[in-house]
């Protein structure tokens, strides 16, 4: 039986939650303040700490810091109100396993607790509680999300990074494919060697050979000095080729030969240079379709695709949206020398209902622009672009939902659109989860 320490100063609510968890075979100790909780943590071993953010003698983040400083590998889950989500995001950065916003439903509580308890201790230390050493090697732009799609992405990176397998990263423009590639490199055995990123779409075909393999002075018009190519520059490390589908057929042949022979010959040189590189490529195209059309060599495709990773769209990782928004806000504050603390509720609602066709790049740009325009401590709706404010991503709107005659159909449509995820359906309908559950019961929907 798993032991949970529940810290909540609302006596009635805490007793109700305690009995609910005990009915689901958890052993629960109650504490109404941080002081008593720390005493219990010294006396008893717990599998999980489930704490409110606001407590009489401090907050859940203070308790989280105490637990992490004590070197106890206990997952901590925070309970918070919707208005305090930005604070909960800060807690995630400091090592909280997850947070859950009030009001929440029983299924959600059980799911969050189950996820926390299922995480192996070693994995939790790696992925949730970054040490100083981890920070020094971690990609500055990689945010470890909490959505199912992000967890799968993180698992794939963790599995493939220590190997020398070639990785093909796919995904729409703006999803952060280069950030994923950099993170793979920084978690690999080559992390202390060069990471060379090349945009294949920006290299004119006439000089591609020189860019990849280098040249000797005087080997062609304009070669006024010796040049080291990308392969040689990445020797011992990782070569990342972005938009690899843009390579000409001739360049594909040259790339395949270099990968097979593991040596390159600079233009104008008689000497071959042996190279030891790990290759990571990325594309937003369907390379298999390009292979079928004869635009991309099939043998090269298989050479590049020893392991594939698809980076999810932002709309498919909505649970991570506030994490990314907070990250980009912090980044914009530093770049613009501002000190904005967060977003208004209206802005967060808009963010969560928008389709984000430009993915993370669009979110980053919008937040940077809003940060520049904001003269207060909080970003409000009036500084957002018109296309976001007036977007109508979904045909389902609060006004339509208020019409009794089509309530049931709208609920069914929303549930189907989000794969029966009731939390996302509630967001789509702009109602609380509690209201949605009541409506599901009212209409006898499964």
Report yes or no on 409 lying in a domain.
Answer: yes
Least confident of 139-143, 188-192, 295-299, 404-408: 404-408
How far is the C-alpha of 226 from the C-alpha of 216, rounded, in Å? 4
How far is the C-alpha of 25 from the C-alpha of 104, rounded, in Å? 20
Q: Does 377 lie in the same domain as 364?
A: yes
pLDDT average, residue stretch 309-324 = 89
How far is the C-alpha of 285 from the C-alpha of 290, rounded, in Å? 8
Q: Does 364 lie in the same domain as 429?
A: no
Contacts 24+ apart (CB under 8 A), 147-155: 147/312, 147/316, 147/317, 147/318, 147/319, 147/320, 148/319, 149/312, 149/316, 149/317, 150/312, 150/317, 150/319, 150/320, 153/180, 153/309, 153/311, 153/312, 154/127
Q: Does 300 lie in the same domain as 161?
A: yes
pLDDT average, residue stretch 366-393 = 87
Q: Is 416 helix (H, G, I), strand (E, B) or coil?
A: helix
Q: Is 345 helix (H, G, I), strand (E, B) or coil?
A: helix
Q: At what angle do helices 345-353 and 321-336 cross, to 10 degrees?
A: 120
Task: State which of 255, 282, 310 marks the end of a domain.
Answer: 310
- With a pLDDT cut of 70, the percent of the chain lying above it is 85
How far is the C-alpha of 3 from the C-alpha of 52, rounded, in Å? 17
How far is the C-alpha of 203 from the C-alpha of 205, rounded, in Å? 6
Identify the residue with better confidence: 82 or 155: 155
Q: Please tell me what DSSP assigns to residue 374.
A: -
Task: State which of 277, 310, 343 marks the end of a domain.
Answer: 310
Task: State which of 268, 284, 310 marks the end of a domain.
Answer: 310
Residue 393 pLDDT class (50, 70, 90 cuts): very low
Q: Does 233 lie in the same domain as 153?
A: yes
**pLDDT over 70 (residue 376):** yes
Question: Mind listing the pLDDT tens digit for each residue in 157-200?
Answer: 999 999 999 999 999 989 999 999 999 999 999 999 999 999 88
What is the pLDDT at residue 92?
67
Report yes or no on 139 lying in a domain.
Answer: no
Question: Mind listing the pLDDT tens digit for each residue in 71-126?
Answer: 677 888 888 764 455 566 666 666 777 777 776 777 778 888 887 787 534 343 33
Least confident of 48-57, 221-230, 425-434: 425-434
Least confident of 30-44, 202-216, 277-291, 352-366: 202-216
pLDDT average, residue stretch 228-243 = 92
pLDDT average, residue stretch 304-330 = 90
In sequence order, the β-bridge partners of residue 14 are: none
**pLDDT over 90 (residue 317):** no
Q: Does 341 lie in the same domain as 229?
A: no
Report yes or no on 41 lying in a domain.
Answer: yes
CATH, residue 427: 1.10.10
Report yes or no on 303 lying in a domain.
Answer: yes
Domain count, the chain: 4
Report yes or no on 135 lying in a domain.
Answer: no
CATH, residue 275: 3.40.50.300
What is the pLDDT at residue 176?
92
Report yes or no on 118 lying in a domain.
Answer: yes
Q: Does 408 lie in the same domain as 355?
A: no
Q: Does 304 lie in the same domain as 170?
A: yes
Q: Does 218 lie in the same domain as 335?
A: no
**pLDDT over 50 (residue 132):** no
Identify the residue with better confidence: 349 or 157: 157
Tokens 């939902």 appear where? 401
What is the pLDDT at residue 395?
41
Q: Does 318 lie in the same domain as 305?
A: no
Identify the residue with better confidence: 7 or 434: 7
What is the pLDDT at residue 84?
56
pLDDT average, residue stretch 215-230 = 80
Q: Does 336 lie in the same domain as 232?
A: no
Q: Does 198 lie in the same domain as 81?
A: no
Identify the residue with better confidence: 367 or 89: 367
Report yes or no on 133 lying in a domain.
Answer: no
**pLDDT over 80 (residue 222):** no
What is the pLDDT at residue 90?
64
CATH, residue 99: 3.40.50.2300
* Domain span at 433: 398-442
- Of these ranges, 56-65, 110-119, 211-220, 294-303, the one predicted with the greatest mean pLDDT is 294-303
What is the pLDDT at residue 135?
36
pLDDT average, residue stretch 134-156 = 72
Q: What is the pLDDT of the chain when averaged over all its residues?
A: 82
Question: Mind listing the pLDDT tens digit for each residue in 394-432?
Answer: 444 444 444 444 677 778 878 887 778 777 777 777 676
What is the pLDDT at residue 225?
81
What is the pLDDT at residue 281?
96
Q: Does 221 lie in the same domain as 245?
A: yes
**pLDDT over 90 (residue 302):** yes
CA 438 to chain CA mean position, Å: 32
**pLDDT over 80 (residue 439):** no
What's this model's pTM, rounded to 2 decimal places?
Answer: 0.61
What is the pLDDT at residue 238?
95
Question: Mind listing the pLDDT tens digit for each residue in 256-277?
Answer: 999 999 999 888 888 888 999 9
Report yes or no on 143 lying in a domain.
Answer: no
């Amino acid at each position: 039986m798993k032991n949970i320490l529940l810290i909540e100063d609302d006596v009635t609510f805490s007793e109700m939650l305690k009995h609910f968890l005990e009915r689901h075979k958890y052993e629960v100790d109650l504490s109404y303040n941080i002081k008593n909780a720390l005493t219990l943590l010294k006396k008893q071993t717990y599998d999980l700490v489930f704490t409110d953010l606001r407590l009489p003698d401090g907050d859940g983040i203070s308790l989280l810091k105490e637990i992490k400083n004590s070197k106890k590998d206990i997952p901590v889950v925070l309970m918070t109100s919707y208005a305090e989500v930005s604070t909960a995001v800060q807690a995630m950065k400091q090592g909280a396993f997850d947070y859950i916003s009030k009001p929440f439903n029983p299924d959600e509580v059980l799911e969050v607790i189950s996820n926390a308890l299922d995480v192996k201790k070693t994995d939790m230390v790696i992925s949730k509680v970054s040490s100083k050493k981890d920070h020094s090697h971690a990609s500055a732009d990689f945010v470890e999300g909490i959505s199912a799609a992000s967890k799968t992405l993180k698992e794939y990176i963790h599995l493939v990074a220590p190997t020398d397998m070639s990785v093909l990263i796919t995904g729409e423009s703006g999803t952060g494919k280069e950030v994923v590639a950099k993170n793979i490199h920084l978690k690999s055995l080559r992390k202390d060697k060069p990471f060379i990123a090349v945009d294949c779409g920006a290299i004119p075909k006439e000089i591609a050979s020189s860019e990849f393999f280098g040249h000797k002075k005087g080997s062609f018009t304009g070669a006024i000095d010796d040049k080291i190519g990308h392969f040689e520059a990445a020797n011992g490390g990782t070569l990342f080729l972005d938009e690899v589908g843009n390579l000409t057929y001739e360049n594909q042949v040259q790339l395949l030969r270099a990968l097979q022979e593991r040596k390159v010959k600079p233009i104008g040189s008689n000497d071959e240079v042996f190279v030891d590189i790990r290759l990571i490529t990325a594309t937003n195209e369907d390379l298999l379709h390009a292979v079928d059309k004869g635009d991309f060599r099939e043998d090269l495709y298989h050479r590049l695709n020893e392991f594939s990773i698809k980076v999810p769209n932002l709309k498919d990782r909505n649970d991570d949206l506030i994490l990314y928004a907070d990250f980009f806000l912090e980044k914009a504050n530093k770049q613009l020398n501002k000190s904005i603390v967060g977003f208004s509720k209206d802005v967060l609602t808009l963010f969560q209902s928008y389709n984000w066709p430009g993915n993370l790049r669009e979110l980053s740009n919008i937040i940077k622009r809003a940060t520049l325009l904001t003269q207060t401590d909080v970003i409000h709706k009036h500084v957002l672009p018109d296309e976001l404010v007036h977007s109508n991503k979904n045909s389902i709107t609060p006004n339509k939902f208020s019409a009794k005659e089509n309530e049931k159909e709208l609920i069914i449509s929303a549930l189907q659109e989000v794969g029966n995820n009731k939390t996302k359906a509630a967001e789509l309908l702009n109602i609380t989860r509690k209201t949605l559950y009541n409506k599901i019961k009212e209409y006898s929907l499964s």
